[in-house]
Structure 1
Amino acid sequence: MENIFPNHTADARDIRKLFRNYAYPAMLNMIVLSLYNIVDRIFIGQGAGALAICGLALTLPYISLLGTIGTLTGVGGADRISAAISLRNPRLACKILGNAIFLNFILSLLLILFSLYYLDEILYAFGGSEHTIPYARKYLTILIPGSLLTNLNFTFCNSIRAAGSSRQSMVIILTGVIANILLDPIFIFGFRLGIEGAAIATVLSMCISSLLLLLHFHSPRSSLRLQFNCLIPEPLILINIIGIGMAAFIMNITTGMVNIIMNRYLENYGGDYAIGAYGIISSYSIQISMLLMGICQGMQPILSYNYATGKQKLVAHTLRTAIYTGSLIACIGFILGEGLAPWLVKAFTTDPTLLKISENGLRLTFLAMPLIGFQIIVTSYFQSVRQAPKAIIMNISRQFVFLIPALGLFSNHWGLNGIWLAIPFADLMATVIAIFFYWKQKSVSLISNSVNRIH
């Protein structure tokens, strides 16, 4: 990013252009990444039946937990790489990338071994039954080892974007998704492997993406080159990566833990079909969340660069642009979810019971959707400007202070509908917390600017 503001005269128009160049490819990247599991769900739901998609939905919390390693090293590594490039230090950027890969590999390997050894116990703890666990086991036995590639891909993509190659990252990941879409019907229907075929197709497509990403890092055109000696771990770099990525890591961990609790409530009040419905609903809510996370990833290097160089006005312009864009996306998602619910759920299943539960749940859980754009963007902003504790507080408060108590209270009064309503309630309260921190930050900035003008 060293040549973005060569004359140090950038204004709001420059920021909007820069935001488009970074955020839009990142948004597409995140959507494309989310399509891996969604494509699996559609093919499995249509080809293997309602119980198969319920079994697949049972795996979602653990897939989220598996991905926390990629989040830790991807977010932490990208932030440090962006800072190294702004200091015109490509050698340091290479070391950071290598250390992020090393950390990713070690942590992923440990988690994979643990997961495979305790797989049945994990699935029972997640709310599985004798009807759904066989499907979940077949899927995860293949996908858990493949999570190493998923986490590496996430780290690679974030690093490429931090180095200013957002479009290359987007093209590579899109290639992997297209491969997954083509391979799914071949393995599910052609080879008649069912849910196992979906997992094989996903892992193979991840292999394709990983190979292309590695080739990018060895290309002469890449500004960030990967060399073998950069993989040697350096404690200070590892600590920095962990420190920066910890907020995002904790957010993902808490989300996975809450999903486990959610599954337990769904199993108690709606059975296997309620868990399957939640899998269908999350397929659409994840699409919106991924778009918003793409905005966060796109604005992160811009915020980090301008915050590090003291350009507070450009930081404010970037944040406002991100909030406007994120809020617009969340509002569109709300309109589509409420207006097209029957047609959206039919993409996954034709089972009348699962259709009814999913349609009702989709409409209820989307009630506060217009608010999450502001909430997610502001949380990511504090992470990007070295105020990670605030980001952690906002995320933990949503999950543990509001959502979990609401699940217990609302379900006692309204049953399954209460579980669905607990989600928009938590989003509403989390947005209130985000507004408070945002208002407080603006007040501090105004006072600081006034003092600077006086001096």
Structure 2
Amino acid sequence: MARFSSEQLGTEPIGKLLIKQAVPASIGILVMSLNILVDSIFVGNWIGSVAIAAINVVLPVSFFIGALGMAIGIGGASVLSRALGAGRKEKALKTFGNQIALTILVTVSMVLLGLFFADSLIPAFGGKGAIFDYAKIYYVIVLYGVPFLALSMMGNAVIRAEGKPKFAMVAMIIPSVANLTMDYVFIYMFDWGMHGAAWATTLAYVFSFSYILYFFLSKNSELKISFSHFGLDKVILKEISALGFVTLSRQAVVSIIYLLLNNILFNLGGEASVTVYAIIGRMLMFALFPVFGITQGFLPIAGYNYGAKQYDRVRKSISIAIKYASLLASMVFIGLFVFPTEIASLFLGTPENATVQELAINAYVLENMPNAMRWVFAATPIIALQLIGAAYFQAIGKVVPALLLALSRQGFFLIPLVLVLPRFMGELGVWVSFPISDVLATLVTAYFLRKEMKTRLR
């Protein structure tokens, strides 16, 4: 791979730089999302539709613990990018060392707690009825690998902060390919069922961590730390925690939404409704990969140039990122509106030992998911502004607006809506809540971003 110095974040043309940063991020997110998507298709076809719902129950717990690493990674990456932009190399090294130590300490503690309270957490997140047994198997095995997931997420954010997006892309591709390969071997060839799906996921996390460890130990990384950098520094920890809290809060809200919707939908339509949401949840992760890629590519550019006080480049990066992301989001919107039935059918097979219940769930999903998906993605064309706007404040270290905007879409708007609308509209009320929250959050973000560009970045 061509060598790339972090200084280029402050010199190359913004359009070219954003493409250079965003394309590898988008490819990495695409492969990771495809992994989640195809993994669900394999599980649905080879184990059964209830197994998809079971994974959906486990995801918020495992992803929340993994997101601790992401939060520490993104929070520290903001500090690190600005330190590199300001020429403060020693602070960047100390920040990275503190990120590693904090990730290990926090995630291992959370995994131990998660295993201890497994039987209480699984039903709380909707793992009831026929879903529980599948979810318990998957939950316990996957939690063993979550610390590796957290370290991988943390390391990936730091790699991007260094301006090395291609390495970050490879770090996301490796576990995805490994997971799908092991899915085929463990589930299809060895017939391990849910155990196979869980071990494939866990081992994929280990592969990802192994590659990221290689990157930082090789000469590709500028961050060569020593044992002294692992000593926890209160000032740096405060910065990492404040900015990481934005990411963690957002993921916490996502986990709360899974908890609420799995339970609300189970009460409205049982396992079938939870399965509809599980598939839509996979599409939410997959379909918006180009928008998330632009957002990830934008973060180090904005952070570095803000640290270097090149505010004209920051303004330009915001404008170009929103344009690119909006165009891609609109293309996603069209595809999902045209082919929702075809998408639903991909997830639904008929295993040889399929029960009457599973066959009934399949029929329900095929009938109800297309309309639900159209509602959930109805406001997709405008979502880019909200994501880029929230990312900007996080990139420059403004904790309060970053936190408020990150939580606005799913926390301040979606949660109240899904608690109220289903009481009057039934299951439709759940799906309608998504576009309403998207529109409201985008309006709020547009206000704050416009104000920032007229004052701080003028």
| TM over 0.5, shorter chain | yes
1:421 matches 2:432: yes
Question: 1:394, CA displacement in angstroms?
Answer: 2.3
User: Counterpart in 1 of 2:353?
Assistant: none
Which has the larger displacement, 143-152 or 219-228?
A: 219-228
User: Counterpart in 2 of 1:308?
Assistant: 307
Question: 1:369, CA displacement in angstroms?
Answer: 1.3
Question: 1:290, CA displacement in angstroms?
Answer: 4.1
Question: 1:442, CA displacement in angstroms?
Answer: 3.1
User: Counterpart in 2 of 1:318?
Assistant: 317
Pairing 1:120-131 to 2, within 5 Å after superposition: 120-131=119-130
Query: C-alpha separation between the residues in 2 aligned to 1:142 and 1:133?
Result: 15
Taking a change above 3 Å as real, the CA distance of residues 412 and 218 of structure 1, as seen in their structure-2 partners, is same
User: Counterpart in 2 of 1:218?
Assistant: 217
Question: 1:232, CA displacement in angstroms?
Answer: 2.8
Query: C-alpha separation between the residues in 2 aligned to 1:5 and 1:255?
Result: 32
Which has the larger displacement, 346-355 or 16-25?
A: 346-355
Taking a change above 3 Å as real, the CA distance of residues 127 and 440 of structure 1, as seen in their structure-2 partners, is same
Which has the larger displacement, 387-396 or 41-50?
A: 387-396
1:99 matches 2:110: no
Mapped contact 2:393–2:402 kept (Cα < 8 A): yes
Mapped contact 1:36–1:202 kept (Cα < 8 A): no
Which has the larger displacement, 349-358 or 149-158?
A: 349-358
Give per-residue Cα distances to partners, 1:368-391, cap 9 Å, x unaligned.
111211111111112222322112
One-letter code aligned to 1:45: G
Pairing 1:252-291 to 2, within 5 Å after superposition: 252-291=251-290
One-letter code aligned to 2:192: L
Amino-acid identity (%): 30
Mapped contact 1:58–1:275 kept (Cα < 8 A): no
Give per-residue Cα distances to partners, 1:328-369, cap 9 Å, x unaligned.
121111111111101111221142222223222112211111
1:431 matches 2:430: no
Query: C-alpha separation between the residues in 1 aligned to 2:143 and 2:269?
Result: 28
Query: C-alpha separation between the residues in 1 aligned to 2:303 and 2:93?
Result: 18
Q: Which runs of 5+ in 1 are unaligned?
A: 450-455
Taking a change above 3 Å as real, the CA distance of residues 5 and 381 of structure 1, as seen in their structure-2 partners, is closer
Mapped contact 1:58–1:126 kept (Cα < 8 A): yes
Query: C-alpha separation between the residues in 1 aligned to 2:224 and 2:163?
Result: 13
SS in 1 for 2:455: helix
Which has the larger displacement, 67-76 or 106-115?
A: 67-76
Which has the larger displacement, 426-435 or 237-246?
A: 237-246
Taking a change above 3 Å as real, the CA distance of residues 392 and 244 of structure 1, as seen in their structure-2 partners, is closer
One-letter code aligned to 1:46: N
Question: 1:72, CA displacement in angstroms?
Answer: 1.4
Query: C-alpha separation between the residues in 2 aligned to 1:18 and 1:279?
Result: 36
Q: Which runs of 5+ in 2 are unaligned?
A: 350-361
User: Counterpart in 2 of 1:331?
Assistant: 330
Taking a change above 3 Å as real, the CA distance of residues 83 and 360 of structure 1, as seen in their structure-2 partners, is same
User: Would you say how many aligned residue pairs link Structure 1 and Structure 2?
Assistant: 442
Pairing 1:144-163 to 2, within 5 Å after superposition: 144-163=143-162
TM-score of the superposed pair, with normalisation by structure 2: 0.91
Which has the larger displacement, 179-188 or 390-399?
A: 390-399
One-letter code aligned to 1:160: I
Which has the larger displacement, 411-420 or 401-410?
A: 401-410
One-letter code aligned to 1:310: K
User: Counterpart in 2 of 1:3?
Assistant: 7
Question: 1:173, CA displacement in angstroms?
Answer: 2.4
Question: 1:296, CA displacement in angstroms?
Answer: 2.1
Taking a change above 3 Å as real, the CA distance of residues 429 and 130 of structure 1, as seen in their structure-2 partners, is same
Which has the larger displacement, 138-147 or 32-41?
A: 32-41
Which has the larger displacement, 146-155 or 167-176?
A: 167-176
1:440 matches 2:451: yes
Query: C-alpha separation between the residues in 1 aligned to 2:69 and 2:390?
Result: 19
User: Counterpart in 1 of 2:410?
Assistant: 399
Query: C-alpha separation between the residues in 1 aligned to 2:108 and 2:289?
Result: 26
Mapped contact 1:184–1:201 kept (Cα < 8 A): yes
Question: 1:289, CA displacement in angstroms?
Answer: 4.1
Give per-residue Cα distances to partners, 1:391-416, cap 9 Å, x unaligned.
22223333343222222332122211
SS in 2 for 1:360: helix
Mapped contact 2:79–2:397 kept (Cα < 8 A): no
Question: 1:226, CA displacement in angstroms?
Answer: 4.4
Query: C-alpha separation between the residues in 1 aligned to 2:39 and 2:448?
Result: 39
Question: 1:49, CA displacement in angstroms?
Answer: 0.9
Taking a change above 3 Å as real, the CA distance of residues 236 and 203 of structure 1, as seen in their structure-2 partners, is same
Query: C-alpha separation between the residues in 2 aligned to 1:104 and 1:280?
Result: 30
Taking a change above 3 Å as real, the CA distance of residues 135 and 385 of structure 1, as seen in their structure-2 partners, is same
Which has the larger displacement, 44-53 or 436-445?
A: 436-445
User: Counterpart in 1 of 2:354?
Assistant: none
Question: 1:32, CA displacement in angstroms?
Answer: 2.9
Mapped contact 1:58–1:276 kept (Cα < 8 A): no
Query: C-alpha separation between the residues in 1 aligned to 2:142 and 2:335?
Result: 31
Question: 1:89, CA displacement in angstroms?
Answer: 4.3
User: Counterpart in 2 of 1:31?
Assistant: 30
Give per-residue Cα distances to partners, 1:102-158, cap 9 Å, x unaligned.
111111011101111111211111122121011111111111121111111111111
TM-score of the superposed pair, with normalisation by structure 1: 0.92
Pairing 1:214-253 to 2, within 5 Å after superposition: 214-253=213-252
Give per-residue Cα distances to partners, 1:252-271, cap 9 Å, x unaligned.
11121122112221111121
Query: C-alpha separation between the residues in 2 aligned to 1:201 and 1:225?
Result: 32
User: Counterpart in 1 of 2:13?
Assistant: 14
Taking a change above 3 Å as real, the CA distance of residues 105 and 318 of structure 1, as seen in their structure-2 partners, is same
Mapped contact 2:35–2:177 kept (Cα < 8 A): no
User: Counterpart in 2 of 1:372?
Assistant: 383
Mapped contact 1:219–1:225 kept (Cα < 8 A): no
Taking a change above 3 Å as real, the CA distance of residues 244 and 270 of structure 1, as seen in their structure-2 partners, is same
Query: C-alpha separation between the residues in 2 aligned to 1:104 and 1:33?
Result: 22
User: Counterpart in 1 of 2:295?
Assistant: 296
